[in-house]
Amino acid sequence: MSAEASGPTPDGSVAKLIELSEKPTLGERLISWSSRPPGRLYIPACAVIGLLLLFEDSVPGGHMPTFLAALVGGLFLAGMGALRLGIALAVARPMIRYYWLRWIAAPLIAALAIGLAVLDVPLQMRVQVSAEQLLDLRSEVNDSTTVPRNGEWSGLYPLHSVSVSDEITHYEIRGAGLFKPSGGLAHSSEEIPTGVFVPGQGSNIYEHVSGDWYVWVEH
């Protein structure tokens, strides 16, 4: 009888060991996953959601598609992070202490993005950069007239139209407004009452941005 037939081959032994080995359970997989710190996908994904939130805040009255994407993505990442942290606290606390910087990266990104959005920093910066080009359009518009812009960009905003009413210049921005897509920026050298309906301005509600600039949203 030949040597090949007298005993199992090495490949056969490895295959047998693989067959006999048990596959990890769902709980074991979760423990293994959570014991590792947030990595190359999770933290960049949090940064992307933060940028979406900042962009949404920079649009007067909000931007529905970006708002929904940031909301769904943020809730998903927050739930994933909470689950991972809870399991890690139970079974892998040394990993949290060792990789503490990576564990706090996501909350820091979220806090920074939310803080800037609450202070309206993205909106103020975008308006400031666009102000000169927006004011140049004022000379092209007569009182009580509306000039269509058909999405042409002025500064950092795509405009639907520009109009003047009672010394208030309205810049309707394409896609602006969450629940009703009609809103934009307003400019007036005189103070505009905010949070209330202004006589002669229909159903517009105004909120102050900075200087002579306001956000208006049709209700």
The helix (H) or strand (E) run that includes residue 184 is strand 183-187
CA distance 202 to 93: 59
CA distance 39 to 30: 15
Give the N- to C-terminal CA distance of the chain in Å, as an integer.
93
Among 174, 175, 169, which residue's Cα sits nearest to residue 204?
169
The amino acid at 100? W
CA distance 38 to 134: 43
pLDDT bin (cut points 50, 70, 90) of residue 4 is very low
Write down the pLDDT at residue 34: 61
Token output for 128:
């400031």
3, pLDDT greater than 70: no
CA distance 70 to 49: 5
How many CB atoms are located within 10 Å of the residue 148 CB? 12
pLDDT bin (cut points 50, 70, 90) of residue 30 is low
Highest mean pLDDT among 24-28, 107-111, 180-184: 107-111
Domain residue spans of the chain: 10-119, 123-218
Q: Is 42 left (phi over 0), alpha (psi -120 to 50) or beta?
A: alpha
pLDDT bin (cut points 50, 70, 90) of residue 219 is confident
Structure confidence by residue, pLDDT tens digits, 157-184: 999 999 988 889 999 999 888 776 688 9
CA distance 176 to 216: 10
CA distance 150 to 163: 13
Radius of gyration of the chain from Cα atoms?
Answer: 28
Residue 46 CA from chain centroid, whole number:
9
114, pLDDT greater than 70: yes
1, pLDDT greater than 50: no
pLDDT bin (cut points 50, 70, 90) of residue 83 is confident
Q: Which residues contact 104 (CB under 8 A, 6 or more apart)?
A: none
State the DSSP string of 89-105: HHH-HHHHHHTHHHHHH
